[in-house]
Amino acid sequence: MDVFERMTDYDYGEVHLKRDAGTGLRAIVAIHDTRLGPALGGCRFLSYAREEDAVVDALRLARGMTYKAALAGIPHGGGKSVLIKPPTPHFDRAALFLAFGRFVEDLGGRYITAEDSGTGLEDMDVIRTVTKNVCGVDQRNGGSGDPSPFTALGVRRGIEACVKFRLGRGSLEGIHVAVQGVGHVGYHLCKELHATGARISVADVDPLKAERAKREFDATIVSLDQIFDVECDVLAPCALGSALNDQTVPRIKAGIIAGAANNQLATPSHGDDLNARGILYAPDYAINAGGLINVALEVEGYDVDKARERTHKIYDTVYEIAERSSKTLTPTYRVADLMVEEKLARLAKPSWQPRS
């Protein structure tokens, strides 16, 4: 694999690799941008068929973090770490995460790690014993807890911005929202929506989760496939990535798409298709930043009121994207990228360095 070619593809200057024979640690830390502050991003612990896939995953995800943090106004750059899961089931997990924590510490504060796929609070608590450059630790240790309610709050505010912009309505009362996936975020989103008087339809592969939404929020359950055909005001994808694809985009009846899932557009051209159909799409990384806003506050000292206050600002960000898109006839996903690129280009200061 040509690492430098991949770094060029993803516009990188800095990728760190670490191997620790004693624990089986094989770690990649990708630091995409530090102009706004130290790179912040989760740590994945997964099996990969090829090492190249792990490196590309880190590069792709860290770049996404730069955009998400910059748009949310968080003083951080984008980073991500990928730990390749040892092939043998018999490894000492605590020792491995301790070795990773030391690696993070050696990076001198340029990268701050957190939970991601395959890692949990216990792993962060292990890392915390050897470095302070970690967030998402246990609430008993000053951590920020479950990010999902904050992500859901941000999505509700983003939906409100879209409804105001597109329908001229200052409230969600009577607005019909179809929620795909009522897991951690989708459940809390339904709770937020129900409290505002919105009408809710839901679909989930897990019938118990759909039933819970029906019971608690008077939601109407529809089949997994039908969720894209619901005659509603807002479609909120809150399940997996690529929900907006060749099969689904032509069927969507909603005038607004605003949900929590990451990477909702199967390809950028699906964002163009939505724009051509006159559907207002709230870019995923703009609207789902509440969880990141919440966890990032651990770096300066966690404060739940500040987390809520900052998450509420997602309304303004999404509204501005909708306005600029409408004025410039540019798809919203592209407007969001441009807003980040303009912001980063304005920064004259050099990359963030630790205080001496």
139/171 with CB nearer ligand NAD? 139
Cβ 327 to ligand NAD shortest distance, Å: 28
Cβ 295 to ligand NAD shortest distance, Å: 9
Quick check: helix, strand or coil at residue 320? helix
Q: What's the Cα-to-Cα distance from 191 to each of 48, 197, 302, rounded to whole Å?
A: 37, 10, 24
Cβ 140 to ligand NAD shortest distance, Å: 20
Cβ 183 to ligand NAD shortest distance, Å: 2
Active-site option among 18, 68, 80, 85: 80
Q: Spell out, one character per residue from 176 to 215, where the chain touches ligand NAD: x when CB under 6 A holds, - when not.
A: ----xxxxxxx----------------xxxx--x------
Q: Residue 118 interacts with ligand NAD (CB under 6 A)?
A: no
Instruction: Tell me whether strands 43-46 and 39-40 are parallel, antiparallel or unpaired.
Output: unpaired
261/335 with CB nearer ligand NAD? 261
Cβ 184 to ligand NAD shortest distance, Å: 4
Q: What share of the chain is helix, strand, coil (3-state, %, to 5)?
A: 45, 15, 35
Determine contact, residues 116/58, Cβ cutoff 8 Å.
Answer: no
Determine contact, residues 76/112, Cβ cutoff 8 Å.
Answer: yes
186/271 with CB nearer ligand NAD? 186
Q: How far apart are CA 302 and CA 295, in angstroms?
A: 8
203/322 with CB nearer ligand NAD? 203
Determine contact, residues 21/14, Cβ cutoff 8 Å.
Answer: no
Q: How far apart are CA 31 and CA 12, in angstroms?
A: 8
Q: Spell out, one character per residue from 254 to 293, where the chain touches ligand NAD: x when CB under 6 A holds, - when not.
A: ------xxx-------------------------x--x--
Q: How far apart are CA 129 and CA 331, in angstroms?
A: 45
Using a 10 angstrom Cβ sphere, with 0-12 exposed, 13-18 middle and 19 or more buried, the burial of residue 41 is: buried
Q: Please work out the total of residues on this chain that contact ligand NAD, with binding judged by CB under 6 A.
A: 25
Of 13, 108, 122, 240, which lies in the binding site for ligand NAD, with binding defined by CB under 6 A?
240
Q: How far apart are CA 295 and CA 275, in angstroms?
A: 32
Cβ 304 to ligand NAD shortest distance, Å: 15
Is 104 annotated in a binding site? The answer is: no
80 catalytic? Reply is yes
From 53-61, 157-165, 233-241, 272-280, give the range in contact with ligand NAD by CB under 6 A: 233-241
Q: How far apart are CA 21 and CA 17, in angstroms?
A: 13
Which strand (E) or helix (H) includes residue 175? none
Is 304 annotated in a binding site? The answer is: no
96/114 with CB nearer ligand NAD? 114
Is 183 annotated in a binding site? The answer is: yes
Quick check: helix, strand or coil at residue 63? helix
**Known binding-site residue numbers:** 181-186
**Known binding-site residue numbers for NAD(+):** 181-186
Residues lying near ligand NAD in the complex (CB under 6 A) = 147-148, 151, 180-186, 203-206, 209, 224, 238-241, 260-262, 288, 291
